[in-house]
A = this chain, B = another copy of it.
Amino acid sequence: MSFVLTKDLLDKVEKAVDTKNSQFVENELSLLRPADISTVLNEMDTEQAMFVMDLLTVETAAEIISYLDEDVCIPFIRNYPSETIAQWINYIDSDDAADILNELPLQTREEIIAFLDSKEKADYIIDLLHYEEDCAGGLMAKELISANINWTVIQAIDEIRRQAEKVEKIYSLYVVDNQERLLGRVSLKKIILSNDETRIADIYEQGIVAVKTYQDEDEVAEIMRKYDLAAVPVINERGKLMGRITIDDAVDVITEQAEEERQIITGISEDIEEDDNVLMLTRARLPWLIIGMAGGLMGARFIGLFEKDLAILPAMAFFIPLITATGGNVGIQSSSIVLQSLANKSMIGVNYFQRLFKVLIVAIINGVVISVIVFGFTIILGQTVNLAGIVAISLFFVVLLASFMGTITPLVLDKLGINPALAAGPFITTANDLLGLAVYFSTAHMLYSF
């Protein structure tokens, strides 16, 4: 039953759009879900997409808008007058609506709010615009159903009826006191299974998990994941119920986090996709390439200092890639393991000293294994025992130092409030290249001075 957009279908629809064959487009789209239609629109140019939108009901169009990628959505809707945008916003949940309005110019934003059908929706959005996008307040929707602790079940059902159209997904009712402070929740299941006259006070669940408006979105996602929650209430500092975050928003946070981490680790400095234009792709890639290049030039300068040693023992040059590559690999592995601990917040009861001690042991084992193998192969490659010794000894220390740096760097970045994933990317590779060269050439220089 799931839908995957094919090039074939897209071509058919695009051709129909270009020939203004409304009937055909309507027929094709009627078979699709709104989330699928937004995938189609994502691939179309503005004119085509506007033609398609005109064929849809306001409600469907609104849902499609809420599914569009933000970088497609904002430029697209700016083709429409504020009044049309307001008609869509009427149907969009307050959290998504606030996200969209946040990206529009102040004047457009105020016009749209003025055009909204319901004063309540306008107030919701104005309230949400106060919060930073990456905290619980920026993630929550105002649409939720709350029940006063003094109500009976039938009163709660009346409230559900009143709000039914406004709140699409209801998993439970949040129970509040007269000051709107969150006390707990009642599941819809319990409402169905209770008598009309049962008091909410007698059936509600206390001590539920809630998040504060100012909590970071990563923390919210982690809490929802940990406690397996489909929705979590958001309260302010005084315990007042302010909104509700549903799991789909947390899933988006988790997905974006993972994507961002991969981009950082692989040396991409902006959020890009393969179908972005050449300029954006280049701009996202050049910064790290240039840093890597700067590292490479420093390396060249550094090796230059040992020109005389190289003249005496030119075969030393053969092993430069081995030294730098090993340093890079070991450093990245070490950072990655620390990153994982930081993400899981699971390293309780392990202090820095114990941590580094363990890193040291693992590094010694890896270092010995690699050094011994390399020593053997270097001799097999026809080099002298002398050179094989230099390579093996430096490799051992490179593994040790790279492990140490790879472990320390993410911990330090994290303490400084910088994204520790930076430590598993080109930065650590570049640093380790230089470190490796330093170890290699100093070792050679010292051993040859004897």
| Contacts from A to B (Cβ < 8 Å) | 1-2, 4-7, 10-11, 33, 35, 42-43, 157, 160-161, 164, 169-171, 187-189, 191-193, 207-211, 219, 223-230, 246-248, 250-252, 254-255, 257-259, 261-263, 265-268, 272-275, 278, 281-282, 285-286, 288-290, 292-293, 295-297, 299-301, 303-304, 307, 310-311, 314-326, 328-330, 332-333, 335-341, 343-350, 355, 358, 361-362, 365-366, 369-370, 373-374, 377-378, 381-382, 424, 426, 429-430, 433, 437
Measured CA separation A123–B436 after assembly (Å): 60
User: Which of B310, B337, B347, B424 is within 8 Å of A314, CB to CB?
Assistant: B310
Within 8 Å CB of A350, what residues of B? 274-275
Contact A266:B332 (CB < 8 A) given known A210-B1, A310-B317, A317-B317: yes
Within 8 Å CB of A272, what residues of B? 337
B266 pairs with A1, CB closer than 8 A: no
A289 pairs with B319, CB closer than 8 A: no
A193 pairs with B209, CB closer than 8 A: no
Measured CA separation A292–B322 after assembly (Å): 8
B318 pairs with A321, CB closer than 8 A: no
Specify which of A208, A255, A301, A429 lies most central, judged by the most chain B CB atoms within 10 Å of its CB.
A255
A290 pairs with B370, CB closer than 8 A: yes
* Dominant secondary structure of chain A at its interface with chain B: helix
A251 pairs with B254, CB closer than 8 A: yes
A35 pairs with B321, CB closer than 8 A: no
A328 pairs with B330, CB closer than 8 A: no
B293 pairs with A366, CB closer than 8 A: no
User: Which of B267, B301, B340, B377 is within 8 Å of A273, CB to CB?
Assistant: B340
Pull 29 A–B residue pairs with CB atoms less than 8 Å apart, ordered by A.
Answer: A1-B211, A2-B223, A7-B349, A10-B349, A33-B227, A247-B251, A250-B251, A257-B258, A258-B261, A262-B340, A265-B265, A265-B266, A266-B336, A267-B333, A273-B344, A274-B338, A274-B341, A278-B358, A278-B361, A278-B365, A285-B333, A288-B333, A292-B326, A297-B377, A297-B378, A300-B381, A316-B317, A317-B320, A321-B321
Within 8 Å CB of A301, what residues of B? 318, 381
B225 pairs with A255, CB closer than 8 A: yes
Within 8 Å CB of A164, what residues of B? 189, 193
Specify which of A254, A261, A292 lies most central, judged by the most chain B CB atoms within 10 Å of its CB.
A292
Contact A289:B366 (CB < 8 A) given known A247-B230, A332-B266: yes
B430 pairs with A282, CB closer than 8 A: no
B225 pairs with A337, CB closer than 8 A: no
B265 pairs with A293, CB closer than 8 A: no
B330 pairs with A274, CB closer than 8 A: no
Measured CA separation A382–B377 after assembly (Å): 36
B282 pairs with A365, CB closer than 8 A: yes
Within 8 Å CB of A192, what residues of B? 157, 160, 188, 191-192
Specify which of A6, A189, A301, A303 lies most central, judged by the most chain B CB atoms within 10 Å of its CB.
A189
Within 8 Å CB of A292, what residues of B? 325-326, 329
A143 to chain B, nearest CB (A): 13
Within 8 Å CB of A366, what residues of B? 282, 285-286, 289
Within 8 Å CB of A290, what residues of B? 369-370, 373
Known: A4-B345, A160-B189. 20 other contacts (CB 8 A): A35-B228, A164-B193, A170-B189, A228-B248, A250-B251, A266-B424, A268-B336, A273-B337, A274-B341, A278-B362, A278-B365, A282-B362, A286-B366, A289-B330, A289-B366, A292-B325, A310-B314, A324-B325, A325-B429, A329-B429
